[in-house]
Amino acid sequence: MIKITNLNKTYRSKTGDVYAAKNVTLSINDGEIYGIIGYSGAGKSTLVRCINLLEVPDSGTIEVNGQTLFDSSVGDDGKIKASVVKGKKLSEARRGIGMIFQHFNLLDRSTVFDNVAYPLKYCGIKKEEISSRVTELLDLVGLSDKKDAYPSQLSGGQKQRVAIARALANRPSVLLSDEATSALDPDATESILSLLKELNHKLGLTIVLITHEMSIIKTITDRVAVMEDGEVVEQGDTYDVFSKPRADITKKFVNSASALSKLDELLENDEFLRNAKKNRRLIRLTFDKNSVGDAVISELSRKFSVNVSIVLANVDILQAGTLGNLVSVIDGREDDIEAALDHLCKCSVGVEVI
């Protein structure tokens, strides 16, 4: 369990203060994959670095697996007093939190074996034990045959696998992933994501994943927080956020991951669609996991004598289920259209007239 409450972090610069985290409160459950999405500069990197104290916050509290790593209180003089875990305790706490990075950050002059062994060395662990643990880890990430290779001999995806093995060396309960797939090609991205999913299932690993790509959030996360200018503007189950985005930025992200992003472009260029006349409406329907299988459209034209033509359609497959989106033009007599839209609302289909 990771608990972050009222976290604040400000960077001071000549041009003014930059809020990297503003009153952030989050709790991440054991064994879930939690996504944090935002544009660059939204503060998500800072937030995730606060979890293992690579960045020290200004105020707030951070608790990981029952251990308070950072706490602050306001003293009598109105100044913030912070207490941070330091030295040996901090090192120990960090060993319980693995982290992987966008650029892998492997040691170029060490072999794959030595890279994975890095966190195990100088901790009083016997050589044979290190060796067997590293072998086990490389097996887990599917790189047993690359033991003696150097990072420069590996592809991006393989490098990230080595980094994952290294991050898991001390059997952490939490893995922080900072844009871990942003530097990879689509194939490697997919394979790393499925590896993370597998590790989440197999080891019960809690994964906190930062990204700016909604498609990643969509494929693997259970819950998500959307960040903008240091603030969490929206959070919840990924499915809910996806099917009913509230904040503008969330809508933008959701659209970016589906074919519906083309809608605006289409409206702009297509006179026919833009000029919604009488007896014709442009509607957007959202089918959630309960209604996605129903034959709503054909039912509609049969029952209400309206014509429905599909402009755009998209199905998203999320961790928690399927989500359908449909933009269509509905033609017919005014009262038929009204009745049809009424019917749609009853069928637990989200209706929006554009």
Partner 1 sequence: MGEWIKSIMPNVAKYSSKFWDSVGATFQMFAIAGVIAFIVGLLFGIVLVVTRKGGVCQNAVVYRIVDIITNFFRSIPFLILLIFLIPLTRRVVGTAIGVKGAIVPLVFGTVPFFTRQVEAALHNVDEGKIEAARSMGSGPVGIIFRVYLHEAVPELARVTTITAISLIGFTTMAGAVGAGGIGSFAIDYGQSQNHQDIVVVCVILLVLITFIFQGIGSFVAKKTTNRSLIKSIKSNSNHKKEK
Residue 97 interacting with partner 1 (CB under 8 A): yes
Tally of residues, the chain: 354
CB of 133 to partner 1, least distance (A): 14
Of positions 85, 99, 249, 341, contacts partner 1 by CB under 8 A: 99
Rank residues 151 and 332 by Cβ distance to partner 1 and give the closer one.
151
Cα–Cα distance, 259 to 60 (Å, whole number): 40
Residue 108 interacting with partner 1 (CB under 8 A): yes
Of positions 107, 315, 317, 353, contacts partner 1 by CB under 8 A: 107
Contact string 65-94 vs partner 1 (x = CB under 8 A)? ----------------------x--xxx-x
Rank residues 119 and 332 by Cβ distance to partner 1 and give the closer one.
119
Residue 205 interacting with partner 1 (CB under 8 A): no
CB of 112 to partner 1, least distance (A): 10
Cα–Cα distance, 130 to 139 (Å, whole number): 14
Cα–Cα distance, 300 to 351 (Å, whole number): 13
Cα–Cα distance, 304 to 127 (Å, whole number): 76
- Residue ranges in 25-64 that form contacts with partner 1 under rule CB under 8 A: 52, 54
Q: What is the DSSP letter of 272?
A: H
Residue 289 interacting with partner 1 (CB under 8 A): no
Residue 110 interacting with partner 1 (CB under 8 A): yes
Cα–Cα distance, 46 to 353 (Å, whole number): 40
Q: Which two tokens stand for residue 219?
A: 């494929």
- Residue ranges in 332-351 that form contacts with partner 1 under rule CB under 8 A: none
Residue 211 interacting with partner 1 (CB under 8 A): no
Backbone φ/ψ region at 236: left (φ over 0), alpha (ψ -120 to 50), beta: left
CB of 127 to partner 1, least distance (A): 17
Assess contact for 8 and 82: CB atoms under 8 A: no
Q: Which two tokens stand for residue 14?
A: 């000549």
Task: Using the Cα atoms of residue 116, residue 119, residue 122 and residue 124 in order, give the sign of their dihedral.
Answer: negative
Task: Using the Cα atoms of residue 111, residue 117, residue 119 and residue 124 in order, give the sign of their dihedral.
Answer: negative
CB of 120 to partner 1, least distance (A): 10
According to DSSP, the β-strands at 59-64 and 67-74 are antiparallel
Rank residues 49 and 281 by Cβ distance to partner 1 and give the closer one.
49
According to DSSP, the β-strands at 280-287 and 349-353 are antiparallel
Q: Could you please report the per-residue DSSP string of 71-135?
A: EEEE-TTS-EEEEE--HHHHHHHHHTEEEE-TT----TTS-HHHHHHGGGTTTT--HHHHHHHHH
CB of 306 to partner 1, least distance (A): 49
Assess contact for 82 and 31: CB atoms under 8 A: no
- Residue ranges in 157-176 that form contacts with partner 1 under rule CB under 8 A: 157-158, 161, 163, 166-167, 169-170, 176
Residue 198 interacting with partner 1 (CB under 8 A): no
Number of continuous H segments (helices) and E segments (strands) in the chain: 13, 15
Residue 10 interacting with partner 1 (CB under 8 A): no
Residue 9 interacting with partner 1 (CB under 8 A): no
Stretch that binds partner 1, among 9-17, 24-32, 68-76, 104-112 (CB under 8 A): 104-112
CB of 327 to partner 1, least distance (A): 37
Q: What is the 3-state secondary structure (H, E, C) of 158-182?
A: HHHHHHHHHHCCCCCCEEEEECCCC
Contact string 119-158 vs partner 1 (x = CB under 8 A)? x--x--------------------------xx-xx-xxxx
Rank residues 72 and 158 by Cβ distance to partner 1 and give the closer one.
158
Which amino acid makes up residue 15? Answer: T
Residue 195 interacting with partner 1 (CB under 8 A): no
Applying CB under 8 A, which residues contact partner 1? 52, 54, 87, 90-92, 94-95, 97-99, 101, 103, 105-110, 118-119, 122, 149-150, 152-153, 155-158, 161, 163, 166-167, 169-170, 176, 187-188, 191
